[in-house]
Amino acid sequence: MASRQSKLQEDTYYRVMRLLQDNPDITQRELATQLGISVGGLNYCLKALMEKGWVKMQNFARSKNKFGYIYVLTPSGIAEKAALTKHFLQRKQEEYDALSQEIEALRAEMKAQAQNPAD
């Protein structure tokens, strides 16, 4: 079973890669804001993704980024994003199922309490 830290890291990688694929010339500051993390934390994440070979920086003259570069998913990054998407969806479905069960248990408890107010 994966640790909580590794799940968070995987989720962050997935979210970064998804946003980069949709908007490759996004600035680090904008990306960090959308993800709710610090620019330093995002920079660390981007470096890790580049070291893994999943993301690369390319020069792009029309980029809104003042340094004139964009972030691009590599072919292996696209494949990894697909795998991360699958894991992310599975994990979120499991969380949803667990939450649904908890809600149903609470509803049953409230119904029982309403029927037996003396308890």
- Compute the CA torsion angle 59, 62, 65, 70 (nearest 10 deg): -40
pLDDT of 68 reads: 66
pLDDT of 61 reads: 60
Q: Residue 25 is part of a domain; what is its CATH number?
A: 1.10.10.10
Residue 60 has pLDDT above 90, yes or no: no
CB 9 within 8 A of CB 93: no
Q: Which has more confidence, 60 or 38?
A: 38
The domain tally of the chain equals: 1
- Token digits of residue 79: 């494949």
Domain that holds residue 43: 4-115
* 19-51 per-position pLDDT tens digit: 999 988 888 899 999 999 999 999 999 999 999
Residue 71 has pLDDT above 90, yes or no: no
Burial letters 76-91, b for 16+ CB under 10 A, else e: ebeebbeebeeebeee
Per the prediction, the chain carries an average pLDDT of 88
pLDDT of 64 reads: 59
Residue 98 CB-density burial (10 A; 0-12 exposed, 13-18 middle, 19+ buried): exposed
Residue 119 has pLDDT above 60, yes or no: no
Residue 59 has pLDDT above 80, yes or no: no
Residue 103 has pLDDT above 90, yes or no: yes
pLDDT-based confidence at residue 69 (cuts at 50, 70, 90)? confident
* 5-16 per-position pLDDT tens digit: 888 888 899 999
